[in-house]
Every structure is written in C-alpha cells, then in structure tokens.
Homo-oligomer: A and B are copies of this chain.
Amino acid sequence: MLTKRQENILKLIVEHYVKLAKPISSNSICKKLKCSSATVRNEMAFLEDANLLEKTHTSSGRIPSEKGYRYYVDHLMELKKMNAEDMLKLQIIFHNNQLPLTDCINKSLQVISDMTSYATIILGSSSHNNLLKQIEVVPINDSNLIVIIVTDKGHVQHKEMKLDNISLEDIKKTVGLINNLIIGTPIDEISTKLEYEIKPIIGRYVTEHEKLYNAFYNVFTDFTTNDINVVGRTKFLEQPEFSSVDKIKTIFEKLDDENVLREIEKDDDNNIKIYIGKENNIDDDVTVIKTKFKNGHEEGTLAIVGPKRMDYERVVSMLEFIKDQVED
C-alpha cells in the first residue's frame, strides 16, 4: 500500500517522464513537493522496491516501470474533460452533420493522430457475421462485369468477374436466383449454401451453369473484410524511444499484420481499455488504448497506439469524446 506522498511522487514521475522522455531526478521532483531531495530519494527507493519505478543505470534518475504505468492508469490518472483546443478541433468534425458516420470517425482519428503524434487504428466491424442484403451486377463490357455485394450492416464489396461466352441473360437469371434464395444468409455461410442449395438449381435453369457457378463461388469466398485503417504510422518515427530502425521495423510489421490488429478487437469490453507494454501484442514498448463503439448498424473498434510513455489522460479523454459522439 502506498502513502499519499508516494502516490504523488509516482504520479509526478509518470507525468514528467511522459513529457520529457528522460529519467527523472529526485531534485526535479522535490521542487514540486515541500520536502528535500533526500526524502524524495528515499521514497523513490521504496517505489523501486515495489517495482513501480526503474533505473536505467545505478546512478540515474528513475523512469516508470510497466507496473508503474499500470498503477498510474488504475489509481492516479484523473479523467478530466478534454482541453479546449482538442475539443474544438474534434467538435468541428462531428458538428458538420452532413458527413456520414464512417467519414467522421476516419477524420477524427486522423486529427487525433496529428495532434498527439501517436498512431490510430480503426477496425471496422468484421463483416463475418453480417448478412447478405443484396447483389448487383453491372456489365462493363462484353467479357467483364462487376459484382457488387451489400450486407445488412452496410458493407459493400465489389469484385470483377470475367465471363467469356456467357449471355447476360444467364447471368441475370443467376443473380435473380441468388437474390431470391440466399438473401439474409450470414456471409460466412454463403459458400456452403451456394454449393448445396444454389448449385443444383442453377443447373436446371441456366445453360452455362458450371462456369457461372465457379465465378460466383470465387466472388464470395474472397469476401475479405478489408476495413482496417491504420493512420499515422510515421508518428512513431518522432518518438525518441523508437529511434532505432530495427525497433521501427518490428513495430511496422505488426501494424501491417491484420491478425495482430484483429486481436485488438477480440476483447469484448465496451469501455475504454488500456494495454501497456507486454499486455498488448504489438510491442513491449508501446501502449494500446482502445474502445469499441456501436451505433445502429455501424460498429467497430478504435485504438490509439503510442509509446508506453503516453499522455494517458489526454488520449482517454479524446477516445471518450469520440465514442460518445458516435454513439448518439
């Protein structure tokens, strides 16, 4: 259990370190507290024993440990309102009611990335549990046409299809059949449904059924949900803790890896959650702050990724604001 003063010192150290990225000395702390540097040193030694602080070398100042950040986040951080400037910039985006929600979200995360110098991630709701809403087919020329698939939650995906020597009529018949028979099917189940329910029927009504069936089968199995957006990767290059090219490389590779990013949305908690260092799967030296949002048919996950030495209060207040705006 920490005393009030110990908590105070920890808080000051975290906040100092967030700003300066340099080990904090007892001297710089004692100025803000009415006690001597020696006293602070004693307390620091205590906090280090409790694994809340670390030294970079024997005679250096202290930096927060992972556990230290955790303690800060859990007990010391104050959840205040956003500062006026941040507020202004974000409000503008949402108060322009013309924009559809997705655009607002994208824009605001872009803005947040620019303001904070952290990277942001937007994970659209994975469409795997979406239901098929409608299929449209637009012929482009003699041998190519565009198949457009729309889901009940508004996801749209299109795919080019190559169809030599197949009459437009046959295609339209097939689309008609699909629209009649498998609307409302979950995206994931379409392939099987296509095979067992549609294939036999197409055979009866359509002449070139083999080719056509294959073409549509491909269209659906390729239904990837490419709705991940990582904004401001380059911001990492501005942070002193990522000044080594190797470090940058490992982080960028994670940010390019869909599987890693999808992991972020696995947690079902709807509140804002913070994953510090080893708690996330991107890198031991970063923190991920995420929240889910849900609004009518739109849902997804927002995340901000930066150094562990992150301005937690600011980021949390921003995420909270956006979540609130989106959800009403």
- Mark A192-224 against chain B: 1 for CB-CB distance below 8 A, else 0: 000000000000000000000010001000000
Report whether over half of chain A's contact residues are helix, strand or loop; otherwise say mixed: mixed
CB distance from A63 to the nearest CB of B (A): 21
| Chain B nearest CB, measured from A240 CB (Å) | 10
Q: Determine whether A82 belongs to the interface, using a CB cutoff of 8 Å to chain B.
A: no
1/0 per residue, CB under 8 A from B, across A217-243: the answer is 010000000000000011001100011
Residue of B nearest to A214 (CB): B98
Size band of the interface chain A makes with B: 35 or more
Chain B residue contacts of A166, Cβ below 8 A: none
Q: Which residues of B contact A140 (CB under 8 A)?
A: 133, 150, 152-154, 297
- CA A150 – CA B249 in complex, angstroms? 39
- Residue in B98, B141, B252 whose CB lies within 8 Å of A233: B252
**Cross-chain contact B138 with A136 (CB below 8 angstroms):** yes
Interface 0/1 of A145-166, CB less than 8 Å to B: 0101010111010111110000
Chain A residues in the interface with B (C-beta under 8 A): 98, 100-102, 133-134, 136, 138, 140-141, 144, 146, 148, 150, 152-154, 156, 158-162, 214, 218, 233-234, 237-238, 242-246, 248-249, 252-253, 256, 296-297
